[in-house]
A and B are shown apart, each in its own frame.
Chain A
Amino acid sequence: MTVVAVEDLSIGRSPSQPIGRSPSQPSGRSPPQPIVQGLSFAVRAGEVLGIIGESGSGKTLTAYAIAGLLPAGLKTLGGRIQIEGRALAELHADERRALAGSRIGMIFQDPLSSFNPVRTIGSLLIESGMRHRRLSRVAARRQAIAALAAVRLPDPATTVDAYPHQLSGGQRQRAMIAVARFNDPALLIADEPTTALDATVQLQILALLKGSLASSALILISHDLRVAASMCDRILVMHRGRCVEQGDAQQVLQTPKHAYTQRLIAAVETLTEGSAPACQAVEA
């Protein structure tokens, strides 16, 4: 079943709110280039789509557009996004907000700054449970402890009352995954989930992600081809806001058709001294 379908998506500055421009500019100017243009893809339940590209290619913005997290000043200029068959554009603002955290779960890049330093880890889980599943605070707390145990955080009953600075980077990212998965979302989006972590920890987090899939779809955003290679069923390569290549992961990696993709792969091969991109199966 298709969980998310994106058709001809464009994202750019909203025309009524030019950022950082003085009002002295004549308003007859043509609008600037959209940051993301003509993007189309779909992800099915249980599938992992990797969106690969360098910084500034627009991959994070795409994720934000799906999750409804575009910052003020940016908006979807054209195209459609459908979540479980429902077009986002046709939804009320409140309905869209109800999707976030219940049908869509988001994992951010930097787990330290993504947690509120003056609130406990558990508070986020409890808030999510009370809001989307109408749990009582006591029940939500129980579920929160269970969720932390499910991501293999030690001593969940204590961790639920811990503050972010008391955990290590890897532990925080596990907690972030717990938050994203809490209400069993149909779609998980992970934005560079391992970039801020040590190499040893990265594999464990990726394994955790892969293992949490069950029937959810996962969009994994990364600039690291090796991460994509180890995890993804399909890969989409973005360059300057456009999709340059899309298809089955093995095919894209071994027989890339677009010049940019070829350059990306070549760069990784140089680093790993000629060995083919490792397609290691990650132990769940």
Chain B
Amino acid sequence: MSAIAEASAASPGSLRSSHWELWVGGILLTGIVVLALLGPGIAGHDARFVDLDHRFVPPFSTGFVLGTDQLGRDLVARILHGLRWSFATALCATLLASVIGTALGLLAARSGSLLGKTIRQVTALAQSFPVFVLAISLVAVVGNGFVAIAAILGLVTWPVFCRIVQAEAQSLFAREFVMAAEMLRMSSLRLYVRHILPGLVASLSVVIPFHFADMLIAESALSFLGIGAPLGAATWGNMLQESRSYLLTAPWLMLVPAAAVVSLVISANLLGDGLRRRLA
């Protein structure tokens, strides 16, 4: 690389080493995953246990680290329960969308076929399509519940992955080593697995954390609107919705789940940003 190019290559304000974001995001997420795996059990209270003697206990009180809500339920337990729900839903939705999107994207990258053209057209139209509205319509028909929500979110967001995979795959197909492999009559499956997929890993790795964050927000939003997780279930969205009636008297009922959502989203964004600097 010429001296000038090296000197001018500075990504926006990356005054610090790119490893910073990657490590912090990664560690935070790992910690959160551990919490999720440990589950609400560590809270010492049951998430659904209604304790009318201890309603509206503020945070940092003895016995209730994050306080209790309007029905005396321990917030730590509820937050952990919500963590499991949100994390699992977002993860499944992301996995589903990435698998479908990658598969369709690979098909779409093959210019010739009618199938490819159709997928490309659909993906292009999907770009200006308000998927959240579609998700809501789907929930109206199919119902809520973990599987339904995860499936719906995954099924409406595959175009994100499809677009990226399609673009990358197209440029990969045009590169010489792939043409060489094709000339050697390598079987399609082997071609895809050995040559194309590794090339996609970098871009996919960057998109996945961001998509995970988006799914998280979408799921919380659905719960918040009352369309997501069943009412009464301890999810962050539900907790935020319920907190609205008590904003004056018990603001921590809103602040605690809000902080939880924000922390998880920021961790995912950090990881995504770190990966992007590392791999792009």
| A20 touching B10, Cβ below 8 Å | yes
Contact partner of A23 (CB less than 8 A), chosen from B2, B4, B16, is B16
Interface centre among B3, B6, B9 (most CB of A within 10 A): B3
Residues of B within 8 A of A73 (CB): 7-8, 10
In the assembled complex, B128 has its CB within 8 A of some CB on chain A: no
Q: Shortest CB–CB separation between residue B33 and chain A, in angstroms?
A: 28
Residues of A within 8 A of B3 (CB): 35, 56, 58, 61, 74
Expressed in whole angstroms, the Cα–Cα distance for A13 and B17 within the complex equals 19
Residues of B within 8 A of A168 (CB): none
Interface centre among B6, B7, B17, B19 (most CB of A within 10 A): B7
Q: Shortest CB–CB separation between residue B260 and chain A, in angstroms?
A: 32
Closest B residue to A21 by beta carbon equals B17
Contact partner of B2 (CB less than 8 A), chosen from A20, A22, A55, A72, is A55
Residues of B within 8 A of A71 (CB): 4, 7-8
In the assembled complex, A163 has its CB within 8 A of some CB on chain B: no
Q: A23-B16, A24-B17 are in contact. Are A61 and B4 (CB under 8 A)?
A: yes
Q: Shortest CB–CB separation between residue A221 and chain B, in angstroms?
A: 13
Residues of B within 8 A of A60 (CB): 2, 4
B-contact 0/1 string along A72-96, CB 8 Å cutoff: 1110000000000000000000000
Residues of A within 8 A of B2 (CB): 55-56, 60
Q: Shortest CB–CB separation between residue B34 and chain A, in angstroms?
A: 28
B-contact 0/1 string along A35-58, CB 8 Å cutoff: 100000000000000000001101
| B4 touching A13, Cβ below 8 Å | no
In the assembled complex, A64 has its CB within 8 A of some CB on chain B: yes
In the assembled complex, A19 has its CB within 8 A of some CB on chain B: yes
Expressed in whole angstroms, the Cα–Cα distance for A55 and B2 within the complex equals 7
A-contact 0/1 string along B6-30, CB 8 Å cutoff: 1111100000110100000000000
Expressed in whole angstroms, the Cα–Cα distance for A208 and B2 within the complex equals 29
Residues facing B in A1-24 (CB within 8 A) are 13, 19-20, 22-24
Expressed in whole angstroms, the Cα–Cα distance for A55 and B19 within the complex equals 32
B contacts, CB < 8 Å to A: 2-4, 6-10, 16-17, 19
A contacts, CB < 8 Å to B: 13, 19-20, 22-24, 35, 55-56, 58, 60-61, 64, 71-74
- Can you show 23 pairs from A to B with CB atoms below 8 A apart? A13-B7, A19-B6, A19-B9, A20-B6, A20-B9, A20-B10, A22-B16, A22-B19, A23-B17, A55-B2, A56-B2, A60-B2, A60-B4, A61-B3, A61-B4, A64-B4, A71-B4, A72-B7, A73-B7, A73-B8, A74-B3, A74-B4, A74-B7
**Interface contacts beyond A19-B7, A23-B16, A72-B7: sample of 16 additional A-B pairs, CB < 8 Å, sorted by A:** A13-B7, A19-B10, A20-B9, A22-B16, A22-B17, A23-B17, A24-B17, A55-B2, A60-B2, A61-B3, A61-B4, A71-B4, A71-B8, A72-B10, A74-B4, A74-B7
